[in-house]
Amino acid sequence: MAEKILVTGGAGYIGSHCVLELLQAGFVPVVIDNFHNAIRGSEELPESLRRVQEIAQQPDITDETALQELFRKHRFSAVMHFAGLKAVGESVQKPLEYYRVNLTGTIRLLETMKAHGVRNIVFSSSATVYGDPKYLPLDEKHPVGGCTNPYGKSKFFIEEMIRDLCRDWNAVLLRYFNPIGAHESGMIGEDPQGIPNNLMPYVAQVAVGRREFLSVFGNDYKTDDGTGVRDYIHVVDLAKGHIAALKKLKENCGCKIYNLGTGTGYSVLQMVRAMEKASGREIKYRITARREGDVASCYADPALAERELGWKAAFDLDKMCEDLWRWQLQNPTGFSKN
């Protein structure tokens, strides 16, 4: 019998791509999502999500009653935990909201898992737990906890919670770098509500004409062109990393931590040029002040994931931008039809 996997936040950008990979790998995903930062409108669900056994649309994962109901209804072999608020800049403005949703929601989830004997979890963590890098590339032994924003702190606190459970649980904590791109079908992609907090959805919306120009937050960092450098990874590569992590849980692995990145850093202006190449359109930008909570450079050493999970990012920057542009061109107003 196929294993059932609970996917919290499974209608979101990363979650929906992971749902598709779960289906292709023969798992049965069950999704809980409040659709806050996700696909809107059940009649417009992409084919991948229409095949999900159940989508529980709830206020959020802080709803203990909804979680208990799901766990009574289904026998889950593991949980993939994506649900939460995720914008660095916004977290600086709304720290209490980030702690309430991300921390309280995770505590409710872990308590429910414990009550129902489900002790396998893959957690969507972040490279923000490393704070301002002391060295590059970042490996898993780099100090954590010196986070520069509440979003990163919430991820760090959750990692610590899960690690404290790992005497008799199995957990894989995946520290993402910067997921971009979209499924090559163009049916699912990233569609943030309001002005995007992440770079590439912003760039794509300028290219497609939804926004007039890109705001570049600072050009006085100690990088080659003065703009921030990040490790961008194709969201499908990231999703495949979750399948590898799920298989790792079967080894009674205890608590394992892996970076998911490419190992290559690109600046904001390099990303703008890459998207201009993919779209064939000029992307106008303006330099503005640095954004609180941002670091100058951040890129991964992904060797441990390759060694222990057998996972390695396959798609290059051109492919990331081509797939992102296909999604944006097919969905110029995102999931909304207005």
In angstroms, the Cα distances linking 76 to 72, 107, 125, 244, 286 are: 10, 18, 21, 18, 48
Q: Give the CA dihedral 159, 163, 166, 171, nearest 10 degrees.
A: 30
Which amino acid appears at position 180 of this protein? I
- 98, 130, 151, 285: which one is catalytic? 151
Spatial contact of 274 and 321, defined as CB atoms under 8 Å apart: yes
Q: Which 3 state secondary structure label does DSSP give 333?
A: coil
Measured between alpha carbons, how far is 48 from 21 in angstroms, rounded to an integer?
9
CA distance 254 to 256: 6
**Strand residues in 167-291 grouped as ranges (E):** 170-176, 178-180, 214-217, 229-230, 232-234, 255-260, 266-267, 285-288
- Paired tokens of 172: 């894989």
**Number of residues that this document lists for the chain:** 338
**Residues in a beta bridge with 5:** 29, 78
Catalytic site residue 151?
yes
The amino acid occupying position 216 is: V
Query: Buried (b) or exposed (e) across 284-306, using 16+ Cβ within 10 A?
Result: ebeeeeebebbbbbbbbbbebbe
Q: Report the C-alpha gap between 6 and 113 in whole angstroms.
A: 10
Residues in contact with 24: Cβ distance below 8 Å, sequence separation at least 6, in sequence order: none
Residues designated as active site: 151
